[in-house]
Structure 1
Amino acid sequence: MLVVKKEPHPKPLVLHSDNGSPMKGSDMLQTMHNLGVVSSFNRPRVSNDNAYAESIFRTCKYRPNYPYKGFTDLMQARAWVLSFVTWYNQVHRHSGIQFVTPQVRHEGKDQAILENRKAVYEKARLSNPRRWTGQTRNWNRIERVWLNPDNNQMLNH
């Protein structure tokens, strides 16, 4: 018989959510407590406590095919979400990672793309220096990404 020893997590698992009633209900809180999950809630009337979630919701809502009238059934909803996620990860160029797609970034192909962009900009600047009032755009790879950084993050990076 194979025995697997589970090491305890060094930090408790945390479920962060808005202040909605379902997430604050006693059944949910008791279940989380039984599972060793700590609850964390947004501050009231503060929409950017979970900035990454809010950002993707905004991107989602501004898509041309956003289903403002809802879905007719679960299959239609799943199909739309799948198409959105595919577009978001494989087509949409994200400004926070120098206008490459997450897929390109995760595959490690972004560095070559960024080096090529830098070369194109430098060549354009050399061929028409009067067009440029300063330096070309910075196409260096961004190593760390966050939304709504606090002052310590801005100073340390």
Structure 2
Amino acid sequence: LKARLTELGMLMSYSRPRVSNDNPYSEALFRTVKYCPAWPSKGFKSLSAVREWMLMFEQAYNEQHLHSGIQYVTPAERHRGLDHARLEQRKAVYEEAKRRHPRRWSGSTRNWAQTESVSLNPGKVHEIERNKQAA
């Protein structure tokens, strides 16, 4: 398992219960799922109902939800390299709006530059890279 995780660029987690710093990605996802407006307030009737709901959540999260950490594009757009075109289009819309109505703008338009690397735990990125090189 450890070799496969290293191959995938993942670190082993020896996390303690309810300590979010031990496993930030899973904790962040759990919070997102738990506070989703579609989360069933009365729970799930079966394991298959949970699985079905999670598949729908995953689809919406990756294909529809605009994420602030990656300039309000979907993870699917980012993964497929389609975010650059969307961000360029937004930049053009904002610049045109400013050109048409300059009094509405007190400064420059929003920065729609593509976000580079995104990490919940940036210090671990270097450790992952070292593990990949060692493997």
Runs of at least 5 residues in structure 1 that lack an aligned partner in the other structure: 1-7, 21-44, 151-157
Q: Is 1:115 aligned to residue 88 of structure 2?
A: yes
Give the direction of change, closer, same or farther, for the CA distance of 1:116–1:14 in structure 2 (3 Å limit): closer
Higher relative contact order at CA 8 Å, sep ≥6: structure 1 or structure 2?
2
CA distance in 2, matches of 1:49, 1:135: 40
CA distance in 2, matches of 1:17, 1:101: 30
CA distance in 2, matches of 1:105, 1:14: 23
Pick from 7, 11, 16 the counterpart of residue 13 of structure 2: 16
CA distance in 2, matches of 1:148, 1:121: 32
> In the alignment, what sits opposite 1:102?
75
CA distance in 2, matches of 1:88, 1:17: 27
Give the direction of change, closer, same or farther, for the CA distance of 1:148–1:135 in structure 2 (3 Å limit): farther
Q: Which entry has the higher C-alpha Rg, 1 or 2?
A: 1
> In the alignment, what sits opposite 1:25?
none
For the residue of structure 1 that corresponds to 2:13, the secondary structure is strand
For the residue of structure 2 that corresponds to 1:15, the secondary structure is coil
CA distance in 2, matches of 1:51, 1:130: 43
For the residue of structure 2 that corresponds to 1:105, the secondary structure is helix
Give the direction of change, closer, same or farther, for the CA distance of 1:17–1:67 in structure 2 (3 Å limit): farther
> In the alignment, what sits opposite 2:132?
none
The one-letter code sitting in structure 2 at the alignment partner of 1:129 is: P
Asked if 1 retains the 8 angstrom alpha-carbon contact of 2:25 and 2:120, the reply is yes
> In the alignment, what sits opposite 1:141?
114
Instruction: Note the C-alpha offset of 1:130.
Output: 1.1
Higher helix share: 2
Q: Is 1:63 aligned to residue 36 of structure 2?
A: yes
Q: What CA RMSD, in Å, does the superposition of the two structures yield over aligned residues?
A: 2.5
CA distance in 2, matches of 1:91, 1:115: 19
| Percentage identity across paired residues of the two chains | 53
